[in-house]
Amino acid sequence: MDSSQPAIKPYTPDESGFWRITLALMLASLLVFSTLYVFQPLLPIFVNEFQVSATESSFLMSAAVIAMVVGLFILGFAADRYGRLRLMQLSLGVTVLLLAAMPFTSSFEWLVVLRLLQGFFLAGIPAAAMGYLGEEVDPNHLGLAMTLYISSNALGGMGGRVAGGYLTDVFDWEKTLFILSAFGVAAALLFLLLLPSERYFTKGDQPLREDFRGMLVHLKDRYMLVLFLMGLLLQIVFTAIWTYIPFHLQSDPYQWPLKWISFTYFAYVLGVLAPPLAGRLSNHFGLTKVMFSGLFILIAGAGFTALQPVSWIMAGLGVLCSGFFIAHSMAAALVSKSADHHRSGASSFYLISYYVGVAVGSTAVGTLWETWGWPGVISTALVFILIIISLPVFKRNSGGGEEV
């Protein structure tokens, strides 16, 4: 910032700017994650309509996730170099246009191509949002802002799955995407109106190669690497349980129909409610302590799902969501708070590891399910959580001291 300009302080909850930022990013997050996950319950529909296999239908999810990982790296770098606000605006605009175009496609292959393009631009919001928050929000209140943003991730994921399945059952998949597109237009317009301009961002004037090296410095920081590893392991645990719980509930002794299983996604409501409370607590106890509390809640949730009574399994899924989103939101806030340069790049590396965890948790854990069933999945999840707890994330905070 220019020293001749009057001092500008980061936003706090006492200012309207804080809540404008929070609401704008929550709306963007709702759109991004509902769009990402709306296809998940619709895969059987595409199997019948396009005469593809179940594995081929899953390309509609995997293509978007893979492209999102690539987008997080490229767009995270672009956000640090050219600015975050315009990138997020572009991301939302392209996301909505592609969503509206999909019902007009006549082939499954073109639908996958559009999802691939969409996944890349979906990354624009998560790649830039945490860096934007890290610069514009007071560090003492970053935990609250970050957890509200993360809770909207959970709400978007739940909403996309539940609404996508319900609306497609009532109408068809094309009308479902049109309805989501209409929501996208409204969310994008409100985003444009609400989100304040960047006040702390300074456009990089370094040569491109030198700027790129600055972003890669995060990969040499052991503290950051530990947080990136945490994002990977957290998502492996969470994805593994949610990917194979339908198979568990469809098998003996439960024999649940798919309609009943879809109701288990309402456990995400606790994932929406828990992070804002955790954000408030982090203002008093610190990000790291609250994060470790979330990990112990995660252990309890995973353990409950190992019990046979279905009431314990349902309770366990709710507790699992609470613990996961608390730990994830605190880890994301630590990344943003600890990075003193290339914040969007640091956040992107965390999210890249996070979405790699989606792929590993959904596919690699399948062998455990096929060999050992639900006990194999849960045992592996518990081992991974214990590994996370043993990671030395308490050794440093952004101020260089210890945060325990």
User: Is 309 buried (19+), middle (13-18) or exposed (0-12) by CB count in 10 A?
Assistant: exposed
| Per-residue pLDDT, 41 | 73
Q: Residue 294 and residue 147: Cα distance in Å, rounded?
A: 13
Q: Residue 330 and residue 271: Cα distance in Å, rounded?
A: 13
With the C-alpha atoms ordered 28, 93, 130, 115, is the resulting torsion angle positive or negative?
A: positive
Both structure tokens of 270: 């606790």
Both structure tokens of 33: 């994650």
How many other CB atoms sit within 10 Å of the CB of residue 320?
28
Q: How far apart are the first and last CA of the chain?
A: 33
Per-residue pLDDT of the chain (404 residues; tens, 9 = 90+): 444 555 678 778 888 888 999 999 999 999 999 999 888 777 777 878 888 876 677 778 878 888 988 888 888 777 777 778 888 999 999 999 999 999 998 899 999 999 999 999 999 998 888 778 877 888 888 778 877 887 888 889 888 878 887 888 788 899 999 999 999 999 999 999 998 877 765 665 665 566 556 555 656 677 788 888 888 999 999 988 887 887 788 788 888 876 677 788 889 888 888 878 888 888 788 888 898 899 999 999 999 999 999 999 999 999 999 999 899 888 888 887 765 555 666 777 887 888 888 777 776 777 787 788 899 999 999 999 999 888 876 444 434 433 43
How many other CB atoms sit within 10 Å of the CB of residue 252?
5
Whether residue 246 is preceded by a cis peptide bond, meaning omega within 30 degrees of 0, is: no
| Per-residue pLDDT, 101 | 96
Cβ proximity of 124 and 87 under 8 Å: yes
How much is the CA Rg of the chain, to the nearest whole Å?
A: 21
Summarize pLDDT for 322-373 with one digit per residue, the tens. Answer: 999 899 888 888 887 765 555 666 777 887 888 888 777 776 777 787 788 8
Summarize pLDDT for 157-203 with one digit per residue, the tens. Answer: 888 878 887 888 788 899 999 999 999 999 999 999 998 877 765 66
Residue listed under structure tokens 């496609």: 105
- Domain 16-196+207-394 classified CATH 1.25.40.80? no
Amino acid at 32: V
Distant-in-sequence, close-in-space partners of 231: CB < 8 Å, separation ≥ 6: 328, 331, 332, 350, 351, 353, 354, 357
pTM (predicted TM-score): 0.72
Q: Residue 125 and residue 91: Cα distance in Å, rounded?
A: 7
